[in-house]
Amino acid sequence: MSNRTRILRLSRYKNAALRLKSLNFLKVFSDNLADATGVTASQVRKDFSIFGIEGNRRGGYQIDELLTQLNKVLGKDKLQKFIIVGIGNLGRALINYQGFVKSEIKILAGFDIDPAKFNRKADALILPMEELPGFVKTNEVELAILTVPEFAAQEAFEKLRNAGIKGILNFAPIRLKSDDKVIVHNLNLETEFENLIYFVNTHTVPQD
Amino acid sequence: MSNRTRILRLSRYKNAALRLKSLNFLKVFSDNLADATGVTASQVRKDFSIFGIEGNRRGGYQIDELLTQLNKVLGKDKLQKFIIVGIGNLGRALINYQGFVKSEIKILAGFDIDPAKFNRKADALILPMEELPGFVKTNEVELAILTVPEFAAQEAFEKLRNAGIKGILNFAPIRLKSDDKVIVHNLNLETEFENLIYFVNTHTVPQD
DNA sequence: CGCAAATTGTGATAAAAATCACATAATAAC
DNA sequence: GTTATTATGTGATTTTTATCACAATTTGCG
């Protein structure tokens, strides 16, 4: 009882709660979160109930308490260290992205095979692939982002697997052959574009 | 009978078929596509059947014919023109991304409020926001990508809406208030990261 | 040509996800 | 302190989505 869409919704609730907190709200109700995220109020409550997150009848949810619990469920109560393989346009953008700094996500280093991209400065460390296994071990990294071209994806994936990486966010447009040692989450930008195109062309409104 | 996940799967089938075509395959069976995309063969057939895509019993699907039909359903039988608003790390990466060139997706121009980012060269046109409505009209653009910071998202959205944009791929971490004139597809990278973190931390395997 | 093998297409069935609806509890008002 | 009001939490129900299973059809082979 823990599918992907439900977890995605928990993330959204957390973001909505954070925004309300920044507006000095102290408590929040299921229908506030529902409005902010575009689901029904009972969906919110059901999701919470499945993860044992409780509020007070009539009193709603204390935002601070709620955030603590959501972060705990989502594993954001501790720093999550990533590396990134493939420093093209997208890889570079992610490494420079400032949106994660306030959250518990940190991209420690990038890796590439192109010496022209290497960079030993601490703020945007880019290292040769050969150093990947050592780096992963020393820094106890479990998570990786894969932003290499399609033809290089499977090989890069094997290297990450062998280095002991446990989870990969894969932007390469290919389904990686994996056993269940490594969890791969695929995110294909072209597919997302196509999805939007479909709904615009058919004038139908998807329920997000 | 046309939800988002089903359309996402059609995109994946298309990508898988393209890959097989590049390996000189002429026909493909539902279980090939199933293997390549990680679903069941009957799911593939059911998806096709819902969109009236037919193969031959015993003969499978002719790849060329299948691609034509999938592209038609997905609206990729004609060029889809995008603009992009917000030229930060991610916006710049998408504008420079080469992955779309072979597909029917083209990003015509970027828009920003920062004069330092303006660029009138044809290959990576970046214009001031004031020129957006005119550009959209002249070039008959219906689709946009929104990569501005959270605080600027709602305002940028209104401008896109007023300019006549019909669909928006929104990377800003906020749910935009919209009527049904504009279709908004939200894609929050932090949420995707959190999703992976959850499944790695809980050692559960999501069915992708 | 006729039989065997393989694959589709889809109605029936099962599983999963979302919504409903209401008893239960907390809060506020007087 | 009693009553009225407002939210939650969750079992029951409905809706949606996916799988099963098999008849129908095509292809290949002797």
Tell me the CATH number at B124: 3.40.50.720
Note whether B56 and B112 are same-domain residues.
no
Cβ-based burial of A97 (10 A; exposed 0-12, middle 13-18, buried ≥19) = middle
Cβ atoms within 10 Å, residue A174:
19
Return the structure tokens found at A82: 């990533």
| Strand ordering across the sheet containing B105-112 | B126-128, B105-112, B80-85, B143-146, B167-170, B183-186
| pLDDT tens digits, one per residue of B137-191 | 999 999 999 999 999 999 999 999 999 999 999 999 898 988 889 999 999 999 9
Note whether B57 and B125 are same-domain residues.
no
Chain B residue at shortest CA distance from A2: B206
| Contact status, residue A70 vs residue A10, Cβ threshold 8 Å | yes
Q: Which nucleotide C1' is nearest B41 CA? A: D19
CB within 8 Å: B11 and A194: yes
What is the predicted pLDDT for the residue at B99?
Answer: 77
| Strand ordering across the sheet containing A105-112 | A126-128, A105-112, A80-85, A143-146, A167-170, A183-186
| pLDDT tens digits, one per residue of B16-56 | 999 999 999 999 999 999 999 999 999 999 999 999 999 99
Decide if B141 is inside a domain: yes
- Closest CB from B194, B205, B208 relative to A11: B194
The span from the CA of A185 to the CA of B4, in Å, is 18
Note whether A67 and A92 are same-domain residues.
no
Note whether A106 and A65 are same-domain residues.
no
Q: Which of A18, A44, A73 is the last residue of a domain?
A: A73
CB within 8 Å: B73 and A169: no
Q: Which of A17, A49, A73 is the last residue of a domain?
A: A73
Decide if A99 is inside a domain: yes
Note whether B96 and B54 are same-domain residues.
no
Note whether A179 and A92 are same-domain residues.
yes
- pLDDT of B207 > 90? The answer is no
Range scoring the smallest mean pLDDT among A78-82, A204-208, B89-93: A204-208
Return the structure tokens found at A128: 């040769």
CB within 8 Å: B196 and A169: yes
- pLDDT of A121 > 90? The answer is no
Q: Which residues contact B188 (CB under 8 A, 6 or more apart)?
A: A11, A12, A15, B171, B173
Contacts of A103 in chain B (CB under 8 A): 190
Q: Which nucleotide C1' is nearest B52 CA? A: C9
- A45 sits within 7 Å of strand D by its CB: yes
What is the predicted pLDDT for the residue at B110?
Answer: 97
Chain B residue at shortest CA distance from A97: B89
- pLDDT of A74 > 90? The answer is yes
Which residue of B90, B147, B195, B203 is the best one to mutate when testing the A interface, meaning the one whose CB has the most A CBs within 10 A? Answer: B195
Å from A200 to nearest chain B CA?
6
Q: What contacts 24+ positions apart, CB below 8 Å, involve B52-60?
A: B55/B30, B59/B27, B60/B27, B60/B28, B60/B29, B60/B30, B60/B32
| Contact status, residue B157 vs residue B146, Cβ threshold 8 Å | yes
Cα-based distances in Å from B88 to A183, B72, B101: 30, 33, 21
| Contact status, residue B148 vs residue B86, Cβ threshold 8 Å | yes
What is the predicted pLDDT for the residue at A204?
Answer: 76
CB within 8 Å: A196 and B168: yes
Contacts of A11 in chain B (CB under 8 A): 188, 190-191, 194-195
CB within 8 Å: A191 and B11: yes
Note whether A85 and A184 are same-domain residues.
yes
Give the model's confidence band at A207: pLDDT under 50 very low, under 70 low, under 90 confident, else very high: low
What is the predicted pLDDT for the residue at A84?
Answer: 98
Q: How many domains does chain A have?
A: 2
| Contact status, residue B160 vs residue B85, Cβ threshold 8 Å | yes
Element of type H or E holding B45: helix B41-50
| pLDDT tens digits, one per residue of A80-95 | 999 999 999 999 999 9
